[in-house]
C-alpha cells in the first residue's frame, strides 16, 4: 500500500494538497484492507474506509470505489464530478480529468470499460458499457464512447468517432 501511495504522490507532482491524490490514498487503503487479518480488525478498517470514502466523495466530487482496479501512476487531474464504476479496470499511467464518467451502459449489464495503459481521458468524457480502450489512446473532452477504441487512437465527439493517432515525426523541419 505505501509503495503505491508513494508512487501516486509522485504522479500527482508531489503535491499533498492535490485532491486527486487524496482520493488515491483512500482508494489504496480500501484495496489494502482486504488483506487485513484478523476479521475483526478488517471490519474496523472497512468502517474507516467507508467513512473516508464518503468524506472524499463529498469534499472532492470524486467517486473511486476500491472495487475498481487501478494501475500504477493513475492521475486524477482537475477534481470534481468524477464517477468510476466498481467494475472498471485501468492500466498503468492513465490520466482522467473533471466530469469523467467510467461506468455501466445499462444497470442490468454490470460490465464497465477496461482501459489500457497510457490512456488520457479528457474533461467531461463518458466511457460506458463493456468496451475496451487500447493502450496509448486519447479520449477527447466531452466524448461519449460506447464502442471499443483500438490502440494508438483518438476518440472524439458524441457519439465518439475513432481515428488513428498521428505519429509525431522525430525530424524537425528547419525553415
Peptide bond into 30 cis (omega under 30): no
Of 78, 89, 132, 163, the catalytic one is: 78
**DSSP notation for 94-150:** -EE-TT-EEE-SBTTB----EE-SS-EE-TT-EEESS-EE-TT-EE-TT-EE-S-B-
According to DSSP, the residues that pair with 69 across neighbouring strands are: 89
12 is catalytic: no
Q: Residue 56 class from Cβ within 10 Å (0-12 exposed, 13-18 middle, 19+ buried)?
A: buried
User: Which cell numbers hold the place of 152?
Assistant: 494508438
CA distance 127 to 125: 7
Q: Which residues are catalytic?
A: 78
Amino acid at each position: 500500500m505505501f509503495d503505491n501511495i508513494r508512487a501516486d504522490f509522485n504522479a500527482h507532482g508531489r503535491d499533498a494538497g492535490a485532491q486527486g491524490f487524496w482520493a488515491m490514498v483512500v482508494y489504496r487503503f480500501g484495496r489494502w484492507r482486504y488483506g487485513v487479518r484478523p476479521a475483526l480488525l478488517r471490519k474496523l478498517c472497512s468502517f474507516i474506509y467507508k467513512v473516508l470514502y464518503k468524506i472524499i466523495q463529498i469534499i472532492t466530487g470524486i467517486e473511486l470505489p476500491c472495487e475498481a482496479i487501478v494501475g500504477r501512476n493513475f492521475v486524477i487531474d482537475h477534481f470534481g464530478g468524477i464517477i468510476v464504476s466498481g467494475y472498471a479496470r485501468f492500466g498503468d499511467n492513465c490520466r482522467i480529468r473533471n466530469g469523467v464518467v467510467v461506468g455501466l451502459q445499462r444497470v442490468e449489464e454490470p460490465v464497465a470499460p477496461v482501459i489500457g495503459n497510457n490512456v488520457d481521458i479528457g474533461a467531461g468524457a463518458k466511457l460506458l458499457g463493456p468496451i475496451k480502450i487500447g493502450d496509448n489512446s486519447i479520449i477527447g473532452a466531452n466524448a461519449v464512447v460506447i464502442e471499443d477504441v483500438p490502440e494508438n487512437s483518438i476518440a472524439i465527439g458524441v457519439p465518439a468517432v475513432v481515428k488513428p493517432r498521428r505519429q509525431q515525426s522525430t525530424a524537425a523541419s528547419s525553415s
